[in-house]
Amino acid sequence: MIRNQWYVVLQSGELKKGKVLGMTRMGEKMVFWRDASGQPVCQADFCPHRGVALSIGCLVEDHIQCPFHGFEYDASGKCVLVPANGRSSEPPKALKVVAYQARELHGYIYIWWGDEQQVYPELPWFDDLDDSFTTSDLVDHWTVDYSRAIENQLDVFHIPFVHADSIGRGNRTVADGPLAELKEDTLEIWVYSRVDDGVSTAKKASILVKPARPPFLKFRFPHLWMNRISEDVRITVFFTPVDNENCLIYLRSHQRFLKVPILRQLVAWTFNPANRHILNQDKRVVLTQRPKKTGMKIGEVLVPADGPIILYRKTRELLQKQPQ
């Protein structure tokens, strides 16, 4: 995982006000709750007194209370009460829970996984996704490292084989391209797939594809992907790391070709069964890949159509090597 990045860790609806939620994210046990103003709070799920999980505690007057001895911590992680010492006493400064910067936007909860910053970067999103789209969401759990799930969505020539009865119909097995470019923190990908007519893939085919339309796929580091199906239909996914062998797929469908109230939401929800079917087709294959985590030197023999995956791996390794 790449440090010093914003990661989506929950959908907004998963975190209810007045409730405490324990989850593993980024390979760490974390506790989530909302403060009195409704803002999300994310902290290490660990009481520094005796190591108890705070996630089995409760909220008391805008503090999280340890279930073992009643110690209370505020949203910054500072201990504000040691009951055995009395309310008039000052808790030891060493009693501090690790707290993560948390933000809420676009119906997701983000955390900053890394070092404290004076100024934090913007939350990852795509500028051309706005309130004109009606959306629907689904979540899926995959038992692989998040990098495997990401690379599956950057792989443009598995489609006729894995998705032969859905988006891969037509036996278009030849991939002209793909062209993959890195612009700041975003990969942009163009490709044209066609039936094998005996003509070899043209080396410059991807150059011919690029002017025809905007990028088919975009990936914004560390874990946000978008499929631009058309000007009015998009799919986005946040690939959320749980640990090195598990991740969550937070998939969202976006449509704006139908704007009639109520009907537009119904249409958006009709995307979910098809998306679930396509995800399950991918999942069946990806869960068999070994090793579960990817890298530049893992024994795979890659081919030109793997260009987007190669660029992703190289960029990811560079980001991981940046000074922390």
Same domain, 171 and 246: yes
Nearest to 188, CA basis, from 161, 150, 227, 222: 227
Based on the fold, state whether residues 158 and 52 are members of the same structural domain: no
Going residue by residue through the chain (324 aa), what tens digit of pLDDT does each one get?
999 999 999 999 999 999 999 999 999 999 999 999 999 999 999 999 999 999 999 999 999 999 999 999 999 999 999 999 999 999 999 999 999 999 999 999 999 999 999 999 999 999 999 999 999 999 999 999 999 999 999 998 899 999 999 988 888 888 777 889 999 999 999 887 888 888 766 555 556 566 667 888 999 999 999 999 999 999 999 999 999 999 999 999 999 999 898 899 999 999 999 999 999 999 999 999 999 999 999 999 998 889 999 999 999 999 998 765
Using CA atoms, how far apart are residues 175 and 200, in angstroms rounded to an integer? 10
Provide the pLDDT for residue 102: 98
What's the structural domain count of the chain? 2
Are the C-beta atoms of 145 and 151 separated by less than 8 Å? no
Query: Are residue 159 and residue 78 in the same domain, yes or no?
Result: no
Q: At 207, which amino acid appears?
A: I
Range of the domain at 239: 134-321
Residues constituting the chain: 324
CA 104, distance to chain mean position in Å, is 14
Within a domain: residue 124?
no
Q: What is the CATH number of the domain that holds 57?
A: 2.102.10.10
User: Are 57 and 140 found together in one domain?
Assistant: no
Structure tokens at 89: 């006493």
Q: Per the domain annotation, does 125 fall within a domain?
A: no
Extract the tokens encoding 191. Answer: 């490709």
141-174 residues labelled b (16+ CB within 10 A) or e (exposed): ebebbbbbbbbbbbbbbbbbebeeeebbeeebeb
Count of C-beta atoms within a 10 Å radius of residue 182: 14
211 class by beta-carbon count within 10 Å (0-12 exposed, 13-18 middle, 19+ buried): exposed
pLDDT at 122: 95
**Could you tell me if 42 and 143 lie in one domain?**
no
Order of strands, sheet of 40-44, starting from the edge strand that comes earlier in the sequence:
21-25, 28-34, 40-44, 99-100
Does any domain span residue 122? no
> What is the pLDDT, as a whole number, of residue 300?
93
Q: Give the tokens for residue 18.
A: 């007045």
pTM of the model: 0.93
CATH number for the domain including 310? 3.90.380.10
For residue 123, tell me if it sits in a domain.
Answer: no
pLDDT value of position 142 = 98
Interior CA angle at 110 toward 107 and 111, to 5°? Answer: 160
Please give the pLDDT value at position 322: 77
